[in-house]
């Protein structure tokens, strides 16, 4: 399926059109042609090179199989989006982002890479690959003024987190956090915002685990 056309989205009340403009563009990030089209569309919409790239795309097998029970199809699908997709997007970003300062590449991974929970084998492995790529990318972009980092949330109350989980599993995840709750997207967004800002320039090649002490 070809990418859908650009279309405007509604902004929260505090983000007035005079302060910020946003557009959406649908793409399969495992497809290199669609990734290129995604960046082309962004540059065309704002008549500017890309300055900041954030990759938050990801999928998770809601069956939570052991590695022994993970099908090849599910394994390949997970890596296609999580690892291949991140690679294609980061590669495009590294070649497109404006040099000379202020350029940012930020990938969302997971604190499960550190906790190594059973049932998440393919997902953890795919996100671990992204963390390795981010660290290497930061070194390879030496001299460009572009930083590359990963933000690795713990359990966050999102549709993907809840998929396939029982009430008992959800309760256990909250209880395992020293703060006694699940994370919220509002806990993660400020960290991404900091890394994207001028104040975040000295943070480079890092994996920042935003998890309330979960691991």
Dig out the tokens for 52 from the structure.
């900041």
- CB of 208 within 8 A of CB of 192? no
Q: Is 123 a catalytic residue?
A: yes
The β-bridge relationship of strands 103-108 and 52-55 is: parallel
- Residues 6+ away with beta carbon under 8 Å from 122: 61, 67, 70, 74, 75, 78, 79
Alpha helices in the chain (DSSP H): 32-46, 72-79, 85-96, 112-115, 121-140, 159-162, 167-176, 185-196
List, as one string, the DSSP characters of 108-125: E--THHHH--TT-HHHHH
Q: Which of 64, 120, 123, 214 is catalytic?
A: 123
Q: Is 40 exposed, middle or buried (0-12, 13-18, 19+ CB in 10 A)?
A: middle
- Whole-angstrom Cα distance, residue 90 to residue 147? 12
* DSSP bridge partners of 189: none
Give the residue numbers marked as catalytic.
123
């Amino acid at each position: 399926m070809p990418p859908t056309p650009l279309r405007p989205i509604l902004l929260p009340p505090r983000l007035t059109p005079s302060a910020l403009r946003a557009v959406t563009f649908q793409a399969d990030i495992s497809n290199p042609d669609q990734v290129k089209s995604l960046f082309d569309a962004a540059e065309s919409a704002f008549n500017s090179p890309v300055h900041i790239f954030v990759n938050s795309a990801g999928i998770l097998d809601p069956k939570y199989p052991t590695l022994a029970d993970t099908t090849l199809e599910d394994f390949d699908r997970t890596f296609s989006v999580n690892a291949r997709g991140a690679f294609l997007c980061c590669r495009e970003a590294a070649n497109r982002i404006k040099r000379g300062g202020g350029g940012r590449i930020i990938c969302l991974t997971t604190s499960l890479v550190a906790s190594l929970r059973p049932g998440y084998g393919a997902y953890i492995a795919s996100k671990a690959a992204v963390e390795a790529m981010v660290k290497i990318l930061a070194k390879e972009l030496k001299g460009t003024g572009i930083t590359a980092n990963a933000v690795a949330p713990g359990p966050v109350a999102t549709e993907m987190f809840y998929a396939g989980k029982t009430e008992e599993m959800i309760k256990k995840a909250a209880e395992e956090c020293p703060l006694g709750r699940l994370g919220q997207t509002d806990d993660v967004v400020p960290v991404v915002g900091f890394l994207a800002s001028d104040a975040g320039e000295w943070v480079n090649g890092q994996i920042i685990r935003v998890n309330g002490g979960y691991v």
